[in-house]
Structure 1
Amino acid sequence: MNKSNPDVALVTGASSGIGHATAKALQNAGYRVFGTSRRAAAEGPDGVAMLTCDVTDDASVAKLVDEVLAEAGRIDLLVNNAGIGLLGGAEESSTAQARALFDVNVFGVLRVTNAVLPTMRHQGKGRIVNLSSVLGFIPAPYSALYSSTKHAVEGYSESLDHELRPFGIRVVLVEPAYTDTSFEENLARPDRLLDIYDSARAGMNAVLRKAIETGDAPEVVARTVLKAATDSVPRRRYAAGKMARQVSFLRRFVPASAFDKSLRKQNGLPV
């Protein structure tokens, strides 16, 4: 990378967790990095310019991109990382809550991507890395709505990649498994709790908490994002970490009935 004229990266949700680690990894690799947070004055890694952006607001996204272009004149890499979680029975969430989840995890990706594409097309090159999850390709009991947002991001990303290749732009996915971040602490809760799901929901909370505590460090995912951003011939999907690679392999090659039983067992559900 040209140190006197470095590529410019924009990372959404860079104030903590995977986004923070990714912004730092990209900065260390020679990118000029702009990170975003929803609230003002969030601290990012040293050397990363932090800007405020609400990915659910068109005007906020447009202002963000204008600010980056005013400062740097280009955007070579977009990492769509901003997202929120939701744990509970699918029946326990109203359509309004589901819509709000999609507004961040899916339409937020769409807004920021659409905002940077005119610049990338003009440049004749660009890379977009969308943070998905293993829950983007496997079932996720008591995370059905969150999983559905990641399934949507996967379909969107793979389809968009075909549309943008003629312009020198590639779109790729990074799929982490459980990562040791504050994700569990920041999970949204269902807005209409039902007693019939109390026991199972509590069980899934415990499973998730333990899995996150023993999960990969955010830096593992950040290194995968860096590879996805810099590979000269990118793959469509990059599994981030050992567990993600194992799950991806099993999903592809294990018979559906056996995978189903294993998933239920891993999640403490009756087989």
Structure 2
Amino acid sequence: MATHRPVALVTGASSGIGNTTARAFVTAGFEVIGTGRSTSGLTPPAGVTFLDLDVTSDESVTAAVQEVIERFGQIDVLVNNAGLGSAGAVEENSVTQAQSLFNLNFFGLVRMTKAVLPHMRAQGRGRIVNLSSVLGVIPQPYMALYVAAKHAIEGYSESLDHEVREHGVRVLLVEPGYTRTAFDANAAQPDTPLPLYAERRRVFDEVVAAAMKTGDDPSVVAKEIVTAATAPKPKLRYTAGPLASRITTARRLVPAGIFDKQIRRFNRMPG
């Protein structure tokens, strides 16, 4: 079933930013396929086709991408949004937990990218929009695994963009700040908790909950994703929302010592 409309494939579209993004692409005139690990009991937004996809599985990724190409004839935009938050001090996260989170947040993105690139190169066009975060450019105590994955996405995306630009494909980054979703409630908790960090973790939970409550609406992020996917001359990075803009600007311009103190003050840490 070929289509005359551009086709967007959005991972992690069953809720939150991904769901809002899928609806934003429909409004922008796209044929939209949204994915989730299990979508059978979910009602997709109007104009969105839901598809089961586990980005941690090579076989699932290959099958899903092939199905989209067979059904719709093309993939013009891939939005790598699927991911999971993490909490806990580094000492409280096992290596197994770290590997599991990277398998979803980073290697899932790598799998999806490698699956669509041959098709995009063959058609001579395509956009891959990777969901990073302001935490891809700044530190955040008690979220080290998540932060490390986002830093990896930043480096991977910028490097890959140089490789594929001559083939008509762009790889772009969208960097949200705190966004009003269930992100914090769904975050992976430490699998080897230590009493030493219990109080710090409690404070961290309060800080994040307060920040999420006043965070941006997911539509703010979705708008930047659609802009990255459709701009005639796209930028490499799009910050989503005023908080994200302020943080990334501060990272570039504020002296390191002062920025370090701001991080500790925000997280209610001593010193």
Fold shared, TM-score > 0.5 on shorter chain: yes
**1:221 partnered with 2:227:** no
- The Cα shift of 1:67 comes to 1.1
Specify the SS of the correspondent of 1:74: coil
Which residue number corresponds to residue 130 of structure 1?
130
Q: TM-score, normalising length from structure 1? A: 0.98
Counterpart Cα distance in 1 of 2:208 and 2:38? 27
Which residue number corresponds to residue 30 of structure 1?
29
- Structure 2 gaps of 5+ residues are none
Q: TM-score, normalising length from structure 2? A: 0.98
CA contact (8 A) 2:14 2:39 kept: no
**1:166 partnered with 2:179:** no
- The Cα shift of 1:56 comes to 0.1
Specify the SS of the correspondent of 1:49: strand
CA contact (8 A) 2:175 2:238 kept: yes
CA displacement, residues 212-263 of structure 1 (integer Å, 9 cap, x when unaligned): 1110010010001011111111111100001000001100000000111011
Q: Which amino acid aligns with 1:47?
A: G
CA contact (8 A) 2:221 2:240 kept: yes
Specify the SS of the correspondent of 2:189: coil
- The Cα shift of 1:185 comes to 1.1
**1:270 partnered with 2:270:** yes
Q: Which amino acid aligns with 2:36?
A: S
Which residue number corresponds to residue 17 of structure 2?
18
Aligned Cα RMSD in Å? 0.8
CA displacement, residues 4-23 of structure 1 (integer Å, 9 cap, x when unaligned): 71110000000100000000
**Aligned-residue identity in percent:** 54
- The Cα shift of 1:43 comes to 2.9
Counterpart Cα distance in 2 of 1:90 and 1:58? 28
Specify the SS of the correspondent of 2:161: helix
CA displacement, residues 78-116 of structure 1 (integer Å, 9 cap, x when unaligned): 000000011100110110000000000000000011000
1:85-104 equivalence runs, <5 A: 85-104=85-104
Q: Which amino acid aligns with 1:211?
A: A
Specify the SS of the correspondent of 1:172: strand
Counterpart Cα distance in 2 of 1:44 and 1:226? 19
CA displacement, residues 148-196 of structure 1 (integer Å, 9 cap, x when unaligned): 0000000000000000011000000000010000111111101000000
- The Cα shift of 1:40 comes to 3.2
CA contact (8 A) 1:14 1:44 kept: no
Counterpart Cα distance in 2 of 1:97 and 1:79? 25
Which residue number corresponds to residue 148 of structure 2?
148
Counterpart Cα distance in 2 of 1:192 and 1:23? 36
- The Cα shift of 1:72 comes to 0.4
- Structure 1 gaps of 5+ residues are none
- The Cα shift of 1:44 comes to 2.6
Specify the SS of the correspondent of 1:205: helix
1:1-271 equivalence runs, <5 A: 5-41=4-40, 42-271=42-271
CA contact (8 A) 1:92 1:193 kept: yes
Counterpart Cα distance in 1 of 2:162 and 2:79? 18
CA contact (8 A) 1:68 1:74 kept: yes
Counterpart Cα distance in 1 of 2:221 and 2:174? 8
Segments ≥4 residues shifted beyond 6 Å:
none
CA contact (8 A) 2:171 2:236 kept: yes
Aligned length: 268
